[in-house]
C-alpha cells in the first residue's frame, strides 16, 4: 500500500511503512501550514518560496533539490532539469522533474513545469505509474498541455495540482478545463488516499481535497 496526501498547491506526502517523501513544501500562500509534519526525504523542484519551505518539515530529512541521481533508504531518485517557462528559463528559471520509486511504482512530480519536455527527456523518464502534474497555466503548463504530457508519458494515476482554489490568490486557472478535456476523473472527499495494486488497472485522474 502507498499513502498519498495533498496539502495543496504542489505539496504532497507519499509514504509506505518504510519511507516518507514530501514534495515542494510551501510557505504562507493560503493553504493550511502543516504542524509537526515529518519526512525522510524532501524533494524541491525549484527555489521559489511556494516550493522550498524546508523549515516546515521536521525529522531532519534529506533534501534533494539539484539535478542528479540519488538513492536514500532504498528510494531511487532522478531529478532532471527542465524549465519553469517556455523560453528555456529566461522568464522564471529552471525547474526539476523529480522521479522516484516507492513500493515498486514510479512516481513523477513535475514541479512548476512550464513547457512540454523534449523527446529525449520523455525517453529518459521511462515508465511512469503516478504523475503529479500542474494544470493551472500562467506559471506552468495548462490543462491542454497537461493532457499532451499525459499522452506522452501514459501514467496510470494522475494527480492534478497547482491550480486555482478558493484559498489561493494566484492568477491561474481552476480545474474545470482539465475535467472538461480529461473524461476519466474522480474526486475524493479527503486529502488522503491509499493506493493498492487494484488502483493501477486503468488510467484515472484523481482530485483530492486539501487540508
pLDDT at 90: 86
According to CATH, the topology of domain 2-208 is: Metallo-beta-lactamase; Chain A (3.60.15)
Could you tell me if 79 and 85 are in contact, meaning their C-beta atoms sit under 8 angstroms apart? no
**Domain segments of the chain as ranges:** 2-208
Chain centre distance of CA 35? 21
Place of cell 501550514: 33
Please, where are the H alpha helices in the chain?
119-125, 143-153, 176-181
- What mean pLDDT comes out for the span 102-110? 98
CA-only gyration radius of the chain, Å: 15
Pick from 13-17, 42-46, 83-87, 119-123: least confident: 83-87
Q: What whole-number distance in Å separates Cα of residue 78 and Cα of residue 76?
A: 7
Model confidence over 114-139: pLDDT tens digits?
999 999 999 999 999 999 999 999 99
pTM of the entire predicted model: 0.97
Amino acid at each position: 500500500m502507498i499513502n498519498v496526501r495533498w496539502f495543496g498547491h504542489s505539496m504532497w506526502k507519499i509514504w509506505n511503512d518504510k519511507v516518507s517523501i514530501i514534495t515542494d513544501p510551501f510557505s504562507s500562500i493560503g493553504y493550511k501550514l502543516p504542524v509537526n509534519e515529518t519526512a525522510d526525504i524532501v524533494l524541491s523542484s525549484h527555489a521559489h518560496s511556494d516550493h522550498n519551505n524546508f523549515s516546515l518539515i521536521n525529522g531532519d530529512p534529506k533534501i534533494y533539490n539539484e539535478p542528479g541521481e540519488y538513492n536514500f533508504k532504498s528510494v531511487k531518485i532522478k531529478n532532471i532539469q527542465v524549465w519553469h517557462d517556455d523560453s528555456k528559463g529566461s522568464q522564471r528559471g529552471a525547474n526539476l522533474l523529480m522521479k522516484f520509486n516507492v513500493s515498486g511504482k514510479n512516481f513523477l512530480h513535475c514541479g512548476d513545469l512550464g513547457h512540454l519536455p523534449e523527446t529525449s527527456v520523455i525517453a529518459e523518464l521511462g515508465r511512469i505509474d503516478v504523475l503529479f502534474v500542474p494544470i493551472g497555466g500562467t506559471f506552468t503548463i495548462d490543462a491542454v498541455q497537461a493532457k499532451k504530457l499525459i499522452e506522452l508519458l501514459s501514467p496510470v494515476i494522475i494527480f492534478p495540482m497547482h491550480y486555482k482554489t478558493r484559498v489561493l490568490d494566484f492568477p491561474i486557472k481552476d480545474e474545470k478545463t482539465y475535467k472538461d478535456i480529461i473524461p476519466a476523473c474522480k474526486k475524493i472527499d479527503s486529502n488522503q488516499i491509499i493506493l493498492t495494486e487494484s488502483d493501477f488497472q486503468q488510467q484515472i485522474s484523481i482530485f483530492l481535497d486539501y487540508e
